[in-house]
Amino acid sequence: MIRLGSGGLERIAAVGAHCDDIAIGAGGTLLAMCRARPGLRVDALVLSGGGSEREQEEQAALAAFCPGADLRLTVHKLPDGRLPAHWEEAKSAVEELRERTDPDLVLAPRTDDAHQDHRGLARLIPTAFRDHLVLGYEIVKWDGDLGRPAAYQPLSPEIAEQKVRLLQEHYPSQRHRPWYDREAFLGLARIRGIECHERYAEAFAVTKLVLDLGD
């Protein structure tokens, strides 16, 4: 259930299957929110990459993407690409996150993401965060699974450029990937901006929405 009203955000949860998922899918939104709300609490959960250089990249990256925030990051060690075979561990990790936070907003993968790890995590989120606003971020990939999003967060040119710069700076382990470049990230942001009459934007899927427009 999602209740959209005029109240402010005080805490959010951001979840990803892999280190860099959160930053790729919602890095601009994090920058915008944290700039506007100093001291915002951000509880971040990543299911894979723990104990490796990827965890170190994620620590530095999310600190940069959440300036001035009360960031609390947990990175687990589930094997990349094997989330369906580790369902119980993934579910426990999500439930542990829920036990320590009651967020105003959850940023998570989309339920129709083609990657099995992203999709599996997305399907776990509603089992733990039942009465929360959940926005499903998108990650461009060779699968061609981008759809028609329902929600948009406009990004200023400054924030869009900063997102791309931070992605290139903080994830050197990913620079060899053919899709991991400025054109891909800024190009998608430009397309989503066109769709909401802005220069740049990040787009999200919304599964359920309850409006609170009478107050």
- 147-174 pLDDT, tens digit each: 999 999 999 999 999 999 999 999 999 9
Question: Parallel, antiparallel, or unpaired for β 105-109 and 11-16?
Answer: parallel
Contact 16, 109 (CB under 8 A): yes
pLDDT tens figures, 99-126: 999 999 999 999 999 999 999 999 999 9
Confidence of residue 211 (pLDDT cuts 50, 70, 90): confident
What share of the chain has pLDDT > 70, as a percent? Answer: 96
- Summarize the confidence of residues 78-83 as an average pLDDT: 87
On the CB side of 164, CA atoms within 13 Å amount to 20
Residues 6+ apart with CB under 8 A from 176: none
Confidence grade of residue 7 (pLDDT, cut at 50, 70, 90): low
Which domains are seen in the chain, by residue range?
11-203 (3.40.50.10320)
Give yes or no for residue 1 having a pLDDT over 90: no
Helix axes 157-170, 53-65, angle to 10 degrees: 160
Rounded to an integer, the average pLDDT of 122-147 is 93
Mean pLDDT computed over 59-85: 94
Q: Span 18-27, mean pLDDT?
A: 97
The residues pairing with 12 across neighbouring beta strands, listed in sequence order, are 42, 105
How many angstroms from the chain centroid is the CA of residue 6? 22
Residue 7 CA to residue 13 CA, distance in Å, equals: 17
Query: Residue 210's pLDDT is what?
Result: 78
Q: What's phi and psi for 83, nearest 5 deg?
A: -60, -40
Q: SS in 3 state form for 108-120?
A: EECCCCCCHHHHH
| Token pair belonging to 47 | 């299911």
- Residues 6 or more apart in contact with residue 192 via CB below 8 angstroms: 149, 152, 200, 201, 202, 203
